[in-house]
Structure 1
Amino acid sequence: MSVRHTESPNPLHQLGAERLREHTARALTRARERSRTLTDAVDDEDLVRQHSRLMSPLVWDLAHIGSQEEIWLVRDVGGREPLRPDIDDLYDAFQHPRADRPTLPLLGPAEARAYVGEVRDKAFDVLGTARLTGSRLTETAFAFGMITQHEQQHDETMLATHQLRRGEPVLRAGPTPPRRAGPLPAEVRVPAGTFLMGTSVEPWALDNERPAHEVHVDAFAIDTLPVTCGDYLEFVESGGYAQSRWWSAAGWEYVRAHEIVAPRFWRREGERWWRRRFGVDEPVPPEEPVVHVSFHEAQAYASWAGKRLPTEPEWEKAARFDPVSGRSRRFPWGDEEPRADQANLGQRHLRPAPVGAYPDGASALGVHQLIGDVWEWTGSDFRGYPGFTAFPYREYSEVFFGPDHKVLRGGSFGTDIAAVRGTFRNWDYPIRRQIFAGFRCARSI
């Protein structure tokens, strides 16, 4: 008997208008509280400094968050008069590369804070009166959800900037992550077959996640857990960075040109490896997922281990597919929003948790820690799904399609619950190492 493939609906569809407004207001408020935490943690001199040419000054991110909120919520949805049309170009990410942003006439810290506060007041006014039906931008509060995710994505970018800054620690972590619950099999076998990939029903899903479509995946095995620092250290110690046979031509050229010998922020002292994490120097923790590795490094490790990186469809099938019902879940564990005992999200711990720490977050197929801890590189280029339509603007996804960007999945310890789900897609250049990225391996059967 064939199984009919479906996807789980989002509970937002069942909310009335007032409860939807309350939910949306809470999501926007949580994002803003996080933005304040990340910008209030440092002084004004730190806010305007560029800590790496790969990143913007923190004050640019803050004002950019406000500018996007003004454009989409205050002007487009609310139909209100512009507050600061004079800074639209200044905070257009496509007009000014990150390396050049410190030279721009940016709003200062006090002015930026006042601006984003004024924008938020007007956005809440719009939320209180807008009809949450009638157009794609307002249906189920999509535009508000898009702006919430945009702010949380920039919050994670600002968290990466904090990792790059020098000086004493300024961010506070919550309780220590849970420990490993017990031994697990090394890999999970996934039988061949079709499943429903992407979504057509998730109300705040972004254009590159749409539409839902059936995909056939050949039989494969995927690691039960992400690759750990201890696993990766074996590759380092075996001379993995000195042997071209494990690397693609582009990866080998990159690591040799930049004299890379280990994950970013690692250093060796005598016989021991250390890492720097948000201003703290500590021994490399063997049971945590490895983080701050590029696609090239992940691919080389997989080759050394006799495996490969999973494709994007393989990753999503392992995360979402329920073989009993044939349904694609919203999250690995089911359809409910993440709980603290299911995934490490929201910069709660400021580090990945040990592998095996979240047994309640396992997928129906038995794969662990697919959401949170570290973004996971896949072997797939970033491309649109069949039937893709850019919305609400091409520059969110479509301009990045092609072989230059690789897909990452699953979110990290620095990702908020509003900006991650089983269908969420991230992408970046294969050389990127400052992001909170790790990986797991797969193999064909």
Structure 2
Amino acid sequence: MKAETAILDPLSEPYPSPDLTSPASLLGQYQSVRAYTEALCKPLQVEDYIPQPVEFISPPKWHLAHTTWFFEEFVLCKYQPGYQKYHADFSYLFNSYYNHVGTRVLRTDRGNITRPGVEEIYAYRRYVDEAAHALLSREVSAELEEVVVLGLNHEQQHQELLITDLKYILGHNPVFPVYREGFSLTEVANQESGFVSVKEGLYDIGFTGEGFCYDNELGRHKVYLEAFDISKALVTNGEYLEFMNDGGYGRFELWLEEGWQWVNESQARAPLYWHHIEDDWYCYTLSGLQKVAPDSILCHINFYEASAFAEWKKMRLPTEFEWEVASSRLRWGERWEWTNSAYLPYPRFSKAPGAIGEYNGKFMCNQMVLRGASTATSPNHSRATYRNFFHPPLQWQCTGIRLVQ
């Protein structure tokens, strides 16, 4: 069963459960999702909206603008007769990777977009939201509803990215500023222990039923699995400290070759945001610098670290198929969990025509699948068939480890 995820929500109420059966409910969901994004930004100072310390991080201002551009480009320009774009340059500035739409700013240059300023980006959001309100207040076709629901899920993805990108920005500030008291995201403990046994056999994999899913979850198919035991608990900080104290980052035999290269090039000796201060380990959280809590679930490790730890424990990471089959008997949702599966298409996978088809399919190379959700994931945004994916060296998401024996 899915866990009651310990999401520290900056809004007083979580999202309502999706109910897209009428135009009014679709409009309400649109308003809720859009408001949540802005609520996440309320604790920010204006300077926090701008920095881009590394290529894979996007500034909060860019997230606000890009999610707005998505609705303008794919909803309003197509379905709202007579709609006038807010600004001719915004598609160039805030398109992410949609080649069908046209040229765009390089990802590395997002932090250089100091203008338009933050106030104008919020004005842009208001302009688009007013037009969307008018559109969604009328009868909505099935085609339009499908695109709007995709846009809402797209914005929820960016809400999680906004939080984790912001943590990277603030976590590299030398004074470790507080984003919001009590908003650490990492102080979560396991509620269960032991292992779940899964019998060998044929199992169905992939999304089925009603409701939204991404195209990379489709193509339900059968896989054969050998019998396995999967841990009910995720790896904790204390367990990972044992790995570190046993020389884990210095033992080449534990690491994949690319992982060992990463260790030597990055000089990594601990998870992201951990700092060794006066013979003790501290970690940066969005509520400030805190001592590493041994019982809390490990966070911010990459695939290479997860694989090396599993080797040290003489166990392994689950495949994404093993994870999905076992998920109904596991408590999950505190961390995105690395699997040992490459991100590849399911049988019968096909990309949608045009720009929407660029959403997932073209990234099916050199990335590993993560399953579950995390404390940074927006409410009502994950499911057992959800396939997240990142490159193996990346640590900045709320990632953890579940082991198989």
Cross-structure match for 2:134: 125
Q: Contact 1:373 / 1:411 at 8 angstroms: preserved in 2?
A: yes
Kindly report which structure 2 residues correspond to 1:149-188, keeping only aligned pairs within 5 A, or say none.
149-164=153-168, 165=170, 166=173, 167-173=176-182, 184-188=192-196
Aligned pair in 2 of structure 1 residues 178, 17: CA closer, same or farther (>3 Å)?
same
Partner residue of 1:389 out of 322, 325, 350:
350
Cross-structure match for 1:359: none
Kindly report which structure 2 residues correspond to 1:6-25, keeping only aligned pairs within 5 A, or say none.
17-18=21-22, 21-25=23-27
Matches of 1:179 and 1:281 in 2, distance apart? 16
Aligned pair in 2 of structure 1 residues 260, 162: CA closer, same or farther (>3 Å)?
same
**Percent of residue pairs identical:** 28
Cross-structure match for 1:232: 240
Cross-structure match for 2:220: 212
Cross-structure match for 1:115: 124
Q: CA deviation at 1:80?
A: 4.6
Whether 2:102 is the aligned partner of 1:87: answer: no
Aligned pair in 2 of structure 1 residues 387, 181: CA closer, same or farther (>3 Å)?
closer
Q: CA deviation at 1:105?
A: 6.4
Q: Secondary structure at the match of 2:309?
A: helix
Matches of 2:20 and 2:241 in 1, distance apart? 52
Aligned pair in 2 of structure 1 residues 302, 97: CA closer, same or farther (>3 Å)?
farther
Matches of 2:36 and 2:344 in 1, distance apart? 31
Unpaired runs of 5+ residues, structure 2, are: 1-16, 98-103
Matches of 1:180 and 1:250 in 2, distance apart? 31
Q: Contact 1:73 / 1:126 at 8 angstroms: preserved in 2?
A: no
Moved more, 225-234 or 78-87: 78-87
Cross-structure match for 2:9: none
Q: CA deviation at 1:78?
A: 3.4
Matches of 2:130 and 2:376 in 1, distance apart? 26
Matches of 1:102 and 1:299 in 2, distance apart? 33
Q: Contact 2:206 / 2:221 at 8 angstroms: preserved in 1?
A: yes
Q: CA deviation at 1:214?
A: 2.3
Matches of 1:374 and 1:176 in 2, distance apart? 10
Cross-structure match for 1:72: 74
- Deviation per CA, 1:321-365, whole angstroms, max 9, x where unpaired? xxxxxxxxxxxxxxxxxxxxxxxxxxxxxxxxxxxxxxxxxx3x3
Aligned pair in 2 of structure 1 residues 289, 419: CA closer, same or farther (>3 Å)?
same
Q: Secondary structure at the match of 1:419?
A: coil
Unpaired runs of 5+ residues, structure 1, are: 1-10, 320-362
Q: CA deviation at 1:292?
A: 0.5
Cross-structure match for 2:101: none
Q: Contact 2:179 / 2:288 at 8 angstroms: preserved in 1?
A: no
Whether 2:301 is the aligned partner of 1:293: answer: yes
Q: CA deviation at 1:49?
A: 2.6
Matches of 2:187 and 2:248 in 1, distance apart? 31
- Deviation per CA, 1:387-444, whole angstroms, max 9, x where unpaired? 1111362321111112x1111111110101342111111111100011111121113x
Paired AA for residue 39 in structure 2: T
**TM-score normalised to the size of structure 2?**
0.86
Q: Contact 1:148 / 1:418 at 8 angstroms: preserved in 2?
A: no
Q: Secondary structure at the match of 2:30?
A: helix
- Deviation per CA, 1:138-165, whole angstroms, max 9, x where unpaired? 3xx3222211111111111111122121
Q: Contact 2:254 / 2:309 at 8 angstroms: preserved in 1?
A: yes
Q: CA deviation at 1:195?
A: 2.4
Q: CA deviation at 1:176?
A: 10
Aligned pair in 2 of structure 1 residues 252, 179: CA closer, same or farther (>3 Å)?
closer
Moved more, 22-31 or 218-227: 22-31
Cross-structure match for 2:401: 439
Cross-structure match for 2:8: none
Paired AA for residue 116 in structure 1: R
Cross-structure match for 1:308: 316
Q: Secondary structure at the match of 1:90?
A: helix
Aligned pair in 2 of structure 1 residues 178, 242: CA closer, same or farther (>3 Å)?
closer
Aligned pair in 2 of structure 1 residues 263, 175: CA closer, same or farther (>3 Å)?
closer
Q: CA deviation at 1:258?
A: 0.6
Q: CA deviation at 1:93?
A: 1.3
Matches of 1:398 and 1:175 in 2, distance apart? 33
Q: Secondary structure at the match of 1:394?
A: helix
Cross-structure match for 1:338: none
Q: Secondary structure at the match of 1:434?
A: coil
